[in-house]
Each structure stands twice: as C-alpha cells, then as structure tokens.
A and B are shown apart, each in its own frame.
Chain A
Amino acid sequence: MKSEFLLEIGCEEIPARFLPATSQQLKQNIARILSANSLDHDRIDAYSTPRRLIVHAAGVATSQPDQSRLITGPPWTIAFDQDGRPTAAALGFARKNQVGVEALSEAKTKKGSYLSYQRRVPGREAVRILAEEVPNAIKELDLPKSMRWESSRFLFLRPIRWILCLFDGQVLPIQLASIRAGDRTFGHRILAGNREAVVRSFDEYRQKLREAQVEIDPTTRLHRIQADLEAAAVEQGGDLVEDRTLLQTVAHLSEHPGVVCGNFDQEFLKLPREVLITVMREHQKYFSLHEREGKLLPKFLAVVDSDGTHSRQIQAGHERVLRARLSDAAFFWESDLKIPVQDRIGLLKQITYQRNLGTLFQKTLRIKALSTFTVKSIRHPELLSQVEQAAELCKTDLTTEMVREFSNLQGVMGGLYARVQGIEAGVSEAIYDHYLPVGAEDPVPRGLGGAIVALADKLDTLAGAFCLGLIPTGSRDPLGLRRQALGVIRILLAKELDLSCERMLRKAYQGVRRFADRSREETSRSFRDFLKDRLRFLFREQGFRYDEINAVVEVCWDNPVESRKRLGAIAGMRESSDFRSLATSFKRIKNILLKAEVDPQAACTIDPALFATPEEGLLHGQVVSLDRGISKAIRAGRHEAALGMMASLRPAVDCFFDQVLVMDKDPTVRRNRLALLAFLLQTFLKVADVSEMVAT
C-alpha cells in the first residue's frame, strides 16, 4: 500500500535569504526519516513561499515491511527424546513464545544446533512513525538565525501560524510550538484575503492555492518573473541588465509575482551607471534596463506581489520612492566630489581597519609597500608610479558618503571619483578593480596595475588575520579569507605572474608584525596549509582530477603558475604505460622507506662500493644523471620533458626491484640501498609526487 505525505509549515514572512537552504534541509530531513524507518517512497519534493515551507512525498509505503527475528532456545540435542517427542525444555520454549511445538525448527549456528523460532515482527504503520518523527525533522533544522515569539519559547525563523500535515489524506497529529497540525491552508494574504481551504491531497492543495493566488514552486515563480521581465524589457525597447542573484531573491519574496515598469527622471542619468544600478538593486530590488550599446535607460522593473490589476497606482508609488533614493545618491555624488581624493588619504587615519590591525591609513601604507615589492619582483619598473599612486588612493572611498551608504560600491567609487577628478586612467582603473575578484564568477582586475594592488590588499588581509590566529574553520569564515586567498591564486594564474606566495606572505608579515601574536614561522605554516586547500579547490573547479592535484600540490604549492603547468603536464602523461608503472614503483619505494623508518627527506649518502648487484649501479648511475637533467628541465619550464625523464627510469627501476632485495641482512648494504631509494624519491619529488596517482 502506498500513499502520500504532505507537510506545510505556515509562517509569517520568512527571510528570502534563508528560504532555499531551509527548504532543502527540511526535505532531506523528511527523506532521512523515511529511509531510516524502511518506508519506501517514490519521490520527494520541496516547495516554498515566503509564508510556507512545504514537503511532498509521493508513493510512501503505508507501513514498514514485516521483519522476522530468529529466537534460539535449548540445544537441538535435548529438544526431543528418543521417540521424537518434544522434551520439557522444548515445550517450555514453545510456551514462552506462545506457539505450538510444530512452529519450531532447527537453527544451525557456529556454536551448534538449537531449537528456534522465527518470530514475525509486523512493520509499524507509517502514520505512527511519521507522527513521532516529523516534529524532530523540523526541530533538527539547522537554522541560521532564529527567534522566539510565544511562551513555549520555540525557536524558528519566523512565527509559525499553522501547520498542515497529511498522510494518506488524514491529518497527522503533530504539534510544534503551540500549533497543532490540521488539514487546512491559507491563500494569499492580500489577493485572496488569507482564505482558508481544507485539502485532502497534494493535487488538491496545489490547485486550491493556485486559485487563492499562491504559486508554491519557487522555480515556477522564478521562470515566470524572468519571462515577465524579458517581455517588459522588449516592450520598453531595451535589454534587461542580467542579475541572477536578484532574480533568486525576488522569487523568494512573493507568492504571486508580477512585474511593474516605472520611469525615473532623465536628469539622474548623469550619475554613473554603477551607482544607478546599485541604488535600484540594493535599496529597492529593481532591475535595470539598458540600450543595445550599454547606456542605461531611465526606467526600472519592479517585481511586486500583486495580480496586475492596479499596476498604474503601484507604479506611481515605486517611482516616488526611487526618485527620493536617486536624489540622495545624487547628493552623495556631488558632495563627495567636492573633496579631492588625495585629501581623503589623511581621513583614513581616523578609521580603524580592524581591531588589532591598525587604521586604514596604516593598511594603505602596507598595501603600498607590498605593491612596490611586487612590481620589483616581476620586473615591471614602468608600473611603479602608477601602482604606488593607486595603492595610496585605493581605500579613500571608504570615507565617502556613497560608500558609507552602499558598501558594495567600495573600490568602484574610488575609481570613478579619481577618474572624474582627472587622475590618470591607469590609476583610476587600478583603484576601481582592486577588490576583484569578489565572487567565483567575477573577473580579475583588467590591468596589471590593478592586479598588483589587488594582490597586495588581499595578502595584507590574509597576513593580518593569520598573524592573529584568525584562521577559518569549518563553515566559519567571517572575514571571507577563503575568498581572498582564492582571489590571490586566480589573479596570479590569470596574469601568469611567476611569484612565490610564501615570499609575498613573508613580506606582508613584515607589515603587520607589530600587531602579530604569532611568529612568522607559525603564520607561514598555517597559511601554507590554507593555500594548498584553496589550490586544490580551484584546480578541481578547473576539471583536474584529485590524484593529479594531490601529486602536484604537495610538492609545488608556492607558485600557482608553476603548479598549474605541472598539472597540465601530468594530466597529459598519465595515460602512458611507463608513467603508470612508475607510479606503482614510486608508491612501493615510499612504503619501503616508511617501513624501514627512513626519512625520505634526509640527505642520503650512497656508497657505490657497497653495491652488490649490477642493477644497483645501473639505477644509481641513471638517477644521478637524471637528477641534474630534471632540475634543469623544471627551471626551463619544460615539465613534459622532466616527466619524460622520470618515465625513462622505468626499466632501471623495474630491474632493480626484480633482482635486488632491499632489506638485506647486512645492515650497511641495507642502509645503502635505502639511501639509493630515498635519493630516487627526492629526484622524483622535484616534479610531482606521482605515488598519489591512481590507475584509471
């Protein structure tokens, strides 16, 4: 027997940012209950609106399958007498289990044969299990920020006002906070006057809510909004400025979305496009429109929770609000421009960058020093004055009204103000770009100058946090350090900057040393592990395989450009048979050294006079000459060649293992052979730790 389960938690408006994750989690918790209790089901889906979290499971078994349990009694040998009649022991066992002797049988176990009884345990009804477990599924949700609203002190995202919970068309008797589950839901609060509806099934539920102006599926709402936005854009003769994040948000802000188009005064188009879009997006969650060539139109699209019958009035309201917002922005723009950006540098002395890391002015000096260091390291002296000026000015926009109001415009405003005030284009562009990349989808800074300042800013942030032991753990990364480190790597790769991260970090550490409560060594060490993890993550994203990444990152993490080249070489060679068998030998060498407790990193003294077999001498000779060749090839960036040299060792290695017993009885011979292997390993490790490679 199969039936359906439906749960709707009716709430006051749940914040849009929490809806998607909580909804998914609720579905997973319900699915876990079903499978943990052996309740089969066909499919399970989550839906949500600002006022409801919904889980629907179809084809759920109405009860658990029956199970049988073996109960063993007295030994088989004493269960029956010579005539085959049950003994008192057997009768007693049968009585205890409330069955006749004929229901008993022999069970053979390791300890011997016993009289036994297969008891059938009937499965429990799904109704009972769900009634017990569903409240736990809700209480166990990991809520990012919850609140209390009633004397039960129940914690949830927002107050729960009703619960609909059905199994097989019947109310499942659960209770949460002070709310008992029932069979009724409520329509759109305004468009349907919060109309109550009794439902018996999911189909009926969905249907009645549609009639009551509620679309429960966020994906459907999102597609509807997108279609409406695009249609409105066409009608207005423009293109929509794409904004996936905003689209996601607005889909979780209404139960019955519609799109209203409005206008704003042409005069505001004097404001930079970035400012206009930000004001519309951040304050009002409006979409912007632009012409084909990228110029903004004096129009906006608002996603509203309304059925479209009163659009004119709603439009007028939104237009009035936007006018006030844009007037504020225009005021900020004009008053900010009155102060030359250079004059703002001094103001940074009054702003704390971070507790225990000095003022923004001090951070500026550190960024400048680090930028200068980088320019010199990559030998681009022509960039020096541009980069130094950009570094000095890059944080000045944090003193502007506009950035105080719209923090996401940091950097951008600094660049725009500098440009309008006649600062050189390369400098203003570098300021504009220096926070990039922010998200995974973001581009890196356009020019090399911007890239250098961006690197300096991020490395200073990282050094500052790490020298205070503020290292991200688990999901906790309040300073966004993972993003910063990923930014460093992405910039180095995109600009092909051959730089040592360790060296850069040491330089950055010098800047923050006076604030540090960790030594430089300790800071470097924790940073190293952190950076390796970010490298692994990024290379995974780029499609490299785990084993390739492990092989390279462990031996070459400091210079991402170099790591990336080696990865490319390894990925290209992994299929060759020499290479694969070398990986196996490599692993074997590592294991032998491990077992013999030889530190593979230690210097090894090899005495050719102690070689007892020609294979030892052969291998030694080849490794010695290859060791030099490999180092040279790597220095020249010829990674394929280096790997090829490694692979060419295969016959010699194979012969060695075929003919030579490493663990010889004579300790001097043994030590000599282990030293040879360690040397071989060290030679290989100059390229990559191929023992990490798995067969494909």
Chain B
Amino acid sequence: MWFQRLFMELLTFWAEQGCVIHLPYDVEKGAGTMNPETFFRVLGPDSYRVAYLEPSRRPADGRYGENPNRVQKHHQLQVVLKPGPPDVQSLYLESLEKLGIQLRAHDIRFEEDNWESPTLGAWGAGWQVLLDGLEITQFTYFQQAGGLELNPVSVEITYGLERIGMFLNHLSDVFDLDWNAGVSYRDLRHEDEVQFSRYNFEVADVDRHFGWFNDYEKEADRLIEMGLILPAYDYCLKCSHTFNVLDARGAIGVSERTRLIQRVRSLACRVAQRYLAGRDQR
C-alpha cells in the first residue's frame, strides 16, 4: 500500500465517524498532541471529534538518513474523540481492517503504556498497540492537560504511519516505502533527513538557540498577560522545539534539562488555564 494511500484511508475512515478532518499545524512540534486541535480541544466541556496528519520533528532521532528505522521527522495520524465512545477500541480495530490488516491473522495486543508529556503538563492512561510485536499506535485516555483535570475524558489515538507502512509492505527500511506509484519515501524525505541531522547535531548555533529560547519565552509570557492565548501557545511550541534542537546538539546538561522543561511546562499550564478562563467569559 502506498504511503499516501495509508493516511488517506485512515482519514476517510475517521471522517465517516464524524471527525473534522483537520490539517497539520504550521509550527514545528514533537508530536501531534501539540497541535492546538488537540491541546485546546481536550480542555473544557464541549464534545469534539477531529483527525489530522501531523509531521512530527524529533531532532535527537535523526540518523543522517542512514538508519532504516529512525528519522528526525516522522508522520503521525492523530485522532481525538471527545468524549471517548464505549466502542472506541472496536472502532480502532476496524480502522486497521480498512488498511487491509486481517486481525485474525495477527498477534494484536494492547499493552500498558501511559503517556506523559512533562512539557505540556499532560498525562493519560492507555496502551501501545502492538501488531506482531511492532508498536503501531499510542492509545490514550487523556486525564490531564496543561496541569488541569479533564472532563469529559478524550481518547487520543496516534498512529505511527511509517511503521504501519513498513508493516503493510513487509519492508525493513523506511526509505523503501512507495509514497505513490512513482515516488518513494527516499525521493521525498532522504535529503531532508541528511541535512537536518547535520544541522541538529553539528551546526545549530547553540548561543543563538538559547537566546531564541529566552525570547520566545518572553514573548509567550507577554502574550499570556495580554490574553492573546493562541499566539502565546505558538511561542510555547517554539520554545519546545528550540529546546529539542539544543538537546540534540548536546548543549543541555542534565540538571539544566529539568529546569528548561519546567519553564516550557509552566507556559503551557498558564496557556491552558487562561484559555479555559477566557472560554468561560466568552
């Protein structure tokens, strides 16, 4: 199955379940959860369903395009169901069948894996879904975001698209995936991996990144005080990505690491609280 077909099938399936089909958010982020369509939507009482594709950047995972399983930018397909319906696991398994996976012919398991994002002040209880031993999905009942208890509880389903694509096509190298009939994953992504690995590990200017981190933080802080919550969140995301680059660059000591994470977390929690407070006023 082509890579593009894979996420199109999934989006179609979830559209049929009443999800808004949204688009990736145009700020760098480490995971689909950081998209405002998840971060803000899980807060507050309103029901909502959304699905979107999200390119996720993890600078430290880069391998110069030389590792068949690791890339600094991979693709997640993110589904948020709020509140999570009682048959949510069956729906999820149905979505796998839509991809041509015959459930009975495989070893499928939901193994405990509680998701936690210290930078977002968020955690949830759930599983990693294993397909013949391969982790293909993170399945989470959101308990807290931005440091706030959530009610209703949203279910977040995050598909790891590269892994599913490799599984479906019996491949051991992600770059061998066909994106469509004539274009491979290598054609589209390999150079990007090489250049960004070099940048993240060797070239990124450490002082400038520390400077940016401080500036982004100040800007986020100023915007929060002004009640401009959505722009403030953008700067919170930028802090997070800047931190990830510094981390990959090996510029962060262990104790400093905790402090920087704490600073991003504090922004995210304030954004979430202000968002809810503002929502009540509106």
Q: At the interface, yes or no: B143 with Cβ under 8 Å from chain A?
A: yes
Interface pair B112/A149, CB less than 8 Å apart: no
Interface pair A323/B107, CB less than 8 Å apart: no
Q: Which residues of B contact A13 (CB under 8 A)?
A: 109-112, 127
Interface pair B254/A253, CB less than 8 Å apart: no
Interface pair A317/B132, CB less than 8 Å apart: yes
> Do A15 and B112 contact each other (CB < 8 Å), given the known contacts A310-B105, A313-B105, A351-B254?
yes
> Do A352 and B254 contact each other (CB < 8 Å), given the known contacts A317-B131, A317-B133?
yes
> Do A314 and B106 contact each other (CB < 8 Å), given the known contacts A147-B141, A302-B133, A321-B133?
yes
Task: Kindly state the separation between the CA atoms of A321 and B132 in the bound complex, as whole angstroms.
Answer: 8
As a 0/1 sequence over residues 670 to 689 of chain A, the CB contacts with chain B under 8 angstroms (1 = contact) are 00000000000000000000
The residue in A194, A313, A320, A352 that gathers the most chain B C-beta atoms within 10 A of its C-beta is: A320
As a 0/1 sequence over residues 248 to 285 of chain A, the CB contacts with chain B under 8 angstroms (1 = contact) are 00000110000010000000000000000000000010
Task: Kindly state the separation between the CA atoms of A313 and B104 in the bound complex, as whole angstroms.
Answer: 11
Closest to A190 in B: B103
CB-contact partner of B112 in A16, A318, A321, A328, under 8 A: A16
Interface contacts (Cβ under 8 Å), in number, total 106
Identify which of residues 53-103 in chain B touch chain A, using a CB-to-CB cut-off of 8 Å. Answer: 67-69, 83-84, 86, 89-90, 93, 103
As a 0/1 sequence over residues 302 to 342 of chain A, the CB contacts with chain B under 8 angstroms (1 = contact) are 10111001100110111011111001100100000000000
Q: At the interface, yes or no: A153 with Cβ under 8 Å from chain B?
A: yes
CB-contact partner of A320 in B106, B151, B172, B254, under 8 A: B172
Closest to A323 in B: B172
Interface pair B109/A305, CB less than 8 Å apart: yes
Q: Which residues of B contact A314 (CB under 8 A)?
A: 105-107, 132
Interface pair A254/B253, CB less than 8 Å apart: no
> Do A310 and B106 contact each other (CB < 8 Å), given the known contacts A151-B83, A316-B170?
yes
Identify which of residues 243-261 in chain B touch chain A, using a CB-to-CB cut-off of 8 Å. Answer: 253-255
Interface pair A350/B125, CB less than 8 Å apart: no
State how many residues of chain B have any CB contact under 8 Å with chain A: 39
B160–chain A nearest beta-carbon distance, Å:
13
Q: Which residues of B contact A304 (CB under 8 A)?
A: 107, 132
As a 0/1 sequence over residues 102 to 134 of chain B, the CB contacts with chain A under 8 angstroms (1 = contact) are 011111111110100000000011010001111
Interface pair B253/A350, CB less than 8 Å apart: yes
Q: Which residues of B contact A253 (CB under 8 A)?
A: 109, 111
Name the prevailing secondary structure of the B interface residues.
mixed
Q: Which residues of A contact B153 (CB under 8 A)?
A: 148-150
Q: Which residues of B contact A190 (CB under 8 A)?
A: 93, 103-104, 108
Q: At the interface, yes or no: B147 with Cβ under 8 Å from chain A?
A: no
Interface pair B134/A147, CB less than 8 Å apart: no
Closest to B107 in A: A304
Q: At the interface, yes or no: A230 with Cβ under 8 Å from chain B?
A: no
A328–chain B nearest beta-carbon distance, Å:
8
Q: At the interface, yes or no: A182 with Cβ under 8 Å from chain B?
A: no
Q: Which residues of A contact B84 (CB under 8 A)?
A: 149
Interface pair B106/A317, CB less than 8 Å apart: yes
CB-contact partner of A12 in B67, B110, B131, B167, under 8 A: B110
CB-contact partner of A17 in B83, B112, B127, under 8 A: B112
A213–chain B nearest beta-carbon distance, Å:
10
Interface pair A306/B106, CB less than 8 Å apart: yes
Task: Kindly state the separation between the CA atoms of A254 and B109 in the bound complex, as whole angstroms.
Answer: 8
Please provide the 6 A-B residue pairs with the shortest distance between their CB atoms, ordered closest to farther: A317-B132, A15-B112, A304-B107, A147-B125, A13-B110, A310-B105
Interface positions of B (Cβ within 8 A of A): 67-69, 83-84, 86, 89-90, 93, 103-112, 114, 124-125, 127, 131-134, 141, 143, 151-153, 166-167, 170, 172, 253-255
Interface positions of A (Cβ within 8 A of B): 12-13, 15-17, 50, 145, 147-151, 153, 158-159, 161, 189-191, 194, 253-254, 260, 284, 302, 304-306, 309-310, 313-314, 316-318, 320-324, 327-328, 331, 350-352
Known A150-B153, A190-B104, A328-B69; 9 more pairs at CB < 8 Å: A13-B111, A145-B114, A150-B152, A189-B89, A191-B104, A310-B105, A316-B170, A320-B134, A320-B166
Q: List 9 A-B contacts (CB under 8 A).
A: A145-B114, A149-B141, A189-B93, A313-B105, A317-B133, A318-B132, A320-B134, A327-B67, A350-B253
